[in-house]
Amino acid sequence: MKKQVLSVEQNGFYGVWYPCKADTDKAVIIMLGDSSDDTLAKTGAKWIHGSYCHALAMSPGKKDYSTHSFPLERFGRAIAFLHEKGIKKIGIAGASTTGMMALAAASYYPEISLTIAMSPCDFIMQGFIRDGLDGCEERPADGESTLTWQGKPLPYLPYAYPHPDYWHRIMEEAGQRGDKIASRSLFDRSELLHPLQEEEMIRAEKIRGTIVCVGAEDDSLWDTCRYIRRLEKRLAARRSEARFIPLLYRHGTHFVFPETMIRMVLPFGASKLIGFMFKAARKHPKECEETRRDIARRLESILIEW
């Protein structure tokens, strides 16, 4: 698979351009995995190619596992890069934190006509850093939002706990649930202590084209289905002209990736890997797999139609 590595210094953003062999003027900005050149990003690009679209992977940096003070303007530079490539239709896709980033980016850039957010939240999160400080894999970025605009942090929902309690609480909840990682109680507590303000919500009504939000009720990182339903109400209340497609499932965990994409990496062990991460997937492996199969069918159809 051909690729072109892009840098902040030369291009204004870090990413990897994965052109499709097909003659197409459609491209999807993907934010999957922790780096634009890791296995998940490459697999996502191949999966996007299957729907006759080019792929532009983006991430904060090479092997940068933290997300804090990420300039939204980088998406604007990525869009300019795609226009230079002759791209006329631009989509964006993300999962988990980058699902939130995909929604936020699309609300700022009307050139984006397809937004796919898997396991997103509908508000701006506080930034986080993964540097292993004090033996904690992750910690809050004090005073930092995940995103900035014109050099200023976007208002955000602050985490309920400071470092190191933040990570200790996550590990405590994971142990109670039987998961490798869990933070649903942390996010519920954060919203209880700091009721969300309007300025912290994603302006989803500004998004153009089609919005697809995917979530599962058994997500143990946060209550994504509640967030998606709240976003849907916001769109209706503000009479958004966007086409909104919520794909909500009872089972699926936080990893609501298309099954066809996951099997490109793990032809036979996808359910085992997700089961290793989440107890819900161990209890309901068939239901979770069927969820991922349905997601694949729906998203592939949406991409082809787009």
Low-confidence ranges of the chain (pLDDT < 70): 63, 268-269
The pLDDT value recorded for residue 106 is 98
Q: Is the Cβ–Cβ distance between 140 and 126 less than 8 Å? A: yes
Superfamily for domain range 4-305: Alpha/Beta hydrolase fold, catalytic domain (3.40.50.1820)
The pLDDT value recorded for residue 268 is 62
Burial label for 197, CB within 10 Å (0-12, 13-18, 19+), is: exposed
Q: Which residues pair with 157 in a beta bridge?
A: 125
Return phi, psi of residue 212, to 5°: -120, 120
d(CA 190, CA 208): 30
SS3 157: strand
User: Please, what's the largest Cα pairwise distance for the chain?
Assistant: 52
Return phi, psi of residue 175, to 5°: -65, -40
Q: Is the Cβ–Cβ distance between 208 and 107 less than 8 Å? A: no
Reported pTM? 0.97
The pLDDT value recorded for residue 60 is 86
81: amino acid identity, one letter: F
The pLDDT value recorded for residue 269 is 63
